[in-house]
Amino acid sequence: MTYPSLAGQLRDFELPQVFSVLEYSRMTGVLRVNAPEGRGMLWLEEGHVVGAEAGAVHGELAVYSVLSWPEGSFSFTKEQVSAPRQELGSSQAMVLEAARLLDECRSPVIAFARTGVTPGPECLNGARRILAAVSGPTSIGKVASSCSITSLEAYFHLEKLEGLRAVSRCAVGASREVDGASRERRTRILVVDDSPLMQRVLTRIYETDPRLTVVGTALNGNEGLHRLRDLRPDLVSLDLYMPVMDGPTTLRNIMLSQPTPTVVVTGASPEALDLTFESMLRYGAIDFITKPSRARGDLAVQTAAILKRVRTAARVNLRGLRMVQPPAGPPRVRATLGPCQGVIVAAAGTGACLSYMQFVPNLPHDLPFAVVGFVPLAEDFLGAFATYLTSCAPFDVRVASGGDRLQAGVCYLIRADRSARIVAGPGGPFLSLGSAPGLAGGSVSPLMADAARLFGPRSVGLVLSGDGDEALAGLAAVRAAEGITLAQLPASSVDPGQCERAIEASLVDRVVLPNHISGSLSQLLMSRTRQNVSEAMVEEEGVTAWPENVG
């Protein structure tokens, strides 16, 4: 049957709102849209999109196209899904991605140029036609006009080609002088907190840094959204629990209406965080900061740490934030814990949670590796993050502790204020942790070097985000041991400096989107296993051959 409450005109309803209702209600059926641009059908199963078509277009592009139609009518019919399953994912994730694409495809200053790299067979014919239309710096509109398609479709394919390194992004008409001046001006912050006292405390802290200024405050999320539209700040400092509109709802509205880098500043307990952490991550919180308190130690140390993290969050790559695709749901199969045959060491800074939440849930459940990585979060937040990741990943995610024996199927998260090494032991390699007071980011290069020494070609160095070049020595060690080195595509990272430096230093085997890391890793492992792992090594070290179904 057709539900009257889920049928109407697009001038009266917004499709993102309809999507929210269908996902929240875990509906299964077909959403049909008739618009001047054409007809679209979206198949949903338990609230998730599992198939889509818009004219001759299918898959995720069809979803984005339908969501971009401003006029027409829609209806939802509850019925069994008969379309081929495409596993397109969370409706809310699709809505956020559609909003990003629609906003950016209209930009008159974004252009693309060919790099000279020839894409492989994974490049579909539609994308090849787009590539042929790119010559020198070519605007999105010019590509769309040349191929007789919409700017949204052109931009979608250009981003796919960018991921394959066949094109690179450049600017048309951008002024270097304006960019330089913009970097010199102070970062404008909006503080949203229901406590006037805490508003004053945070304002005082932020404005001790001459590079920061508070341009406004709000007592709840609803008031904050109005101030956001009026003030257009560079960063939002957001409380978690507020009357009228709480933090998660406010963040969701920020990212849907006016995407702005947002840090969560809260004094919530770990028990409370378990209930809200997922919603804050789903909608793109950049960082989680604990409110200053004398009970937590030296206030001067806390203030310095808060200022550093706020400055970093304010300069994030917002485009990378808006490319985040949250996990679709719990894993179908969980990994079986067992002997560790290899290790992935991940380097991450600001935005680490966003990269991990795309990378870890996509790990193959039968990959006989452990994952070890630093996350710059306070202990309370790190525990909540591990709980959240465990709920949506095949691997068991744990906060690392000293003496942990490395096991396949486990992801060990290490606080950024700890130093860590992988040490050989009679029962197998284990983690040795120490304190590293004042350390802004974990010392990842020694950890990668340990992995290279102990696991050789079964070591993996992965750079997800962060600034500086601290990971370069570790990547070089992994490469020297004939291990695998990967970097997240800088355009998809909210803090891409470390990725860019690793790529520039030619220390990376492959540059990948975070949700493609696991697939690329599996391909490289299988390829190198067939070529390089000898029977002698297998017999000597007691390592079984890689399973053929990895990935």
The overall average pLDDT reported for the chain is 77
pLDDT for the residue 208: 85
In 3-state terms, what secondary structure has residue 379?
Answer: helix
pLDDT for the residue 326: 61
User: Which long-range contacts link 271-274 to residues 24+ away (Cβ below 8 Å)?
Assistant: 272/240, 272/241, 273/380, 273/381, 273/384, 274/384, 274/387, 274/388
Position 42 confidence tier, pLDDT thresholds 50, 70, 90: confident
Question: What mean pLDDT do residues 223-232 have?
Answer: 89
Q: Which position has the higher pLDDT, 219 or 349?
A: 219
Residue 220's CB is within 10 A of a number of other CB atoms, namely 18
Residue 8's CB is within 10 A of a number of other CB atoms, namely 13
Given a cut of 90, whether residue 191 has pLDDT beyond it is yes
Given a cut of 90, whether residue 303 has pLDDT beyond it is no
Q: Which position has the higher pLDDT, 413 or 17?
A: 413
pLDDT for the residue 192: 92
> What one-character DSSP code corresponds to residue 118?
P
Q: Which position has the higher pLDDT, 147 or 89?
A: 147
Amino acid (one-letter) located at 344: I
Question: What mean pLDDT do residues 504-513 have?
Answer: 83
The most confident of the ranges 358-367, 437-446, 474-483 is 474-483
Given a cut of 50, whether residue 179 has pLDDT beyond it is no
Q: Which position has the higher pLDDT, 373 or 79?
A: 373
Q: What is the 3-state secondary structure (H, E, C) of 297-343?
A: CCHHHHHHHHHHHHHHHHCCCHHHHHCCCCCCCCCCCCCCCEECCEE
pLDDT for the residue 209: 85
In 3-state terms, what secondary structure has residue 240?
Answer: coil
Q: Which position has the higher pLDDT, 134 or 93?
A: 134
